[in-house]
Structure 1
Amino acid sequence: MNLDRLNPVMLITGAASGLSAAAARHFARRAQGGLILVDADEAGLETAADAIENPPERVSTLAFDIGDRERWAQATDFIRGQYGRLDYAIVDASAAQSAVTVTDGDLITWTSTGHEHIALTLRALTQLMRSNGQGGAIVVIGLAGAADVLRAAALDGASSNVRINAANQGVAPIWRNAPLFQDLIRSERDERRAFKALSALPNSLARYEGHLFELIGQLLSDDCPATGATLVVDGGYAL
């Protein structure tokens, strides 16, 4: 990825584990202005931050649920006060969905709530990038069944030069129909527990090196004019 901005600041959600933690390690050296890692798992977040080789001079960990509107307001104030800008963001939709908990209802209701969390996150990030004269770019990973959320966010950000795209893996059926997920349902005897178990198996879902990160880098680059697009890398299941 060619980050030609001076000291760009990057934010990554779901960064305590899985693909987002790998993305933090991969892109950290490019975020010369600072790296902000967000996840509800505070201990995991600290571990992920410590695992970054050659981190930028400034790395912040913000432990909160991205579905919490008040905490996003606090995070926004912190980022503006400490960094003054936000240039790039990677939003892990699969982490948002797996963090959602409900006492009743099926997985359809559960994942719809996850999509609401993604919409809230994209609004908060867009507002941050609007105050940056150069705008910014957001890439959503692991997005399934929420194309309307992506389109609405992209339209909202377009007037402020904030581009929002998605990068997914795989052309196979989405995770809910995947044989691996069906096996986990049988072993876990609960769809929600099966989903969390699925999210914890990065080797079966994602190739951390190579094409996916290359694609994310291209979508984040200021040379990329696209917004509202979902691009797919072959291999693995899309969460």
Structure 2
Amino acid sequence: MTQIQDFQGRSALVTGAASGIGAACARSLAERGAAQLFLVDVDGAGLDALDLAGNVHRITGSVADEALWAELEPQMTGLDHSIVNAGIGSGGPIASLSLAEWRRVMAVNLDGAFMTLASSLRAMGESGGSAVVVASTTGIKPVAGIGPYGVSKAAVAHMARIAAVENAKLGIRVNAIAPGGVDTAIWESGEDFKRSVAAIGRDSTLKAMAKTTPSGRFASSEEMAETILYLLSDAASNITGHVMVSDGGFTL
């Protein structure tokens, strides 16, 4: 089957690109003709492991580092597309969380997303482009025990909508995607997840977690990447300011 080359010759930024949804997006962009990719992640080895065609800039560092964006933004002038994906998880009820833990999550998931999107918009300038912010269904449907994560994802979804209004006249579209359960490495940091994996294995743990989803399964990173690239592509040229839910029915 011939791969659609709908990103032929274009440039794109992907944060959190070393694994999961970000890596799937980076691979799909390269396969679909992107000529220049800017990939950001704290995991340098993961970035190096991506075997991608085109001109690939691998930037090892945190999206929460203002200096990273000060250095990278001038290199991205004329940017066509941006996927604001980097994020970290957190666990525990709000009443038991420390301010330090709250700020740790917000620094990456909210402040980092803000700097990523702001730099991307400036790099696109008046030549137009599109961006997709990766939010979460936990920013729509309250889920106990993940307060900072859910709050940060609600915030970035609304940030995308505000940015869409502000930049529409420049020909820049900004949308968000709110995934439900996705089989990615973000689960690995949870203590409950680790205990379950030790007891019954990873596959069984994910199947048990997916029982709260009507479809009965978690999505793959590749499935999320296809939806993200649709929103990013010219096929979605009339869509902006939209928060697309892709959750197997979790929020129903």
For normalisation by structure 2, the TM-score amounts to 0.66
Shift of 1:157: 2.2
Q: Secondary structure at the match of 1:155?
A: helix
Contact 1:170–1:235 (8 Å) recurs in 2: yes
Which residue number corresponds to residue 121 of structure 1? 116
Would you say 1:29 and 2:37 are equivalent positions?
no
Would you say 1:207 and 2:204 are equivalent positions?
no
Which residue number corresponds to residue 156 of structure 1? 166
Alignment of 1:78-227 (within 5 A): 78-80=75-77, 85-92=78-85, 95-98=86-89, 104-105=98-99, 107-113=101-107, 114-131=109-126, 133=127, 135-143=128-136, 144-146=153-155, 147-170=157-180, 183-184=192-193, 206-210=219-223, 212-224=224-236, 225-227=238-240
Cα displacement string for residues 23-48 of structure 1 (whole angstroms, at most 9, x for unaligned residues): 2112212243212211122222112x
Which letter does structure 2 place at the counterpart of 1:64?
Answer: G
Gaps of 5+ in 2: 91-96, 137-152, 197-205, 207-216
Which residue number corresponds to residue 194 of structure 1? none
Cα displacement string for residues 75-112 of structure 1 (whole angstroms, at most 9, x for unaligned residues): 012233xxxx21112111xx33359xxx9526544433
Gaps of 5+ in 1: 173-177, 188-197, 199-203
Change (3 A) 1:66 1:31: farther
Which letter does structure 1 place at the counterpart of 2:171?
Answer: N
Shift of 1:208: 2.4
Match of 2:72 among 60, 72, 75: 75
Which residue number corresponds to residue 233 of structure 1? 246
Change (3 A) 1:46 1:139: same
Change (3 A) 1:236 1:61: farther
Contact 2:175–2:241 (8 Å) recurs in 1: yes
Which letter does structure 2 place at the counterpart of 1:77?
Answer: P
The two structures, once aligned, show a CA RMSD in angstroms of 3.5
Structure with larger Rg: 2
Aligned length: 201
For normalisation by structure 1, the TM-score amounts to 0.70
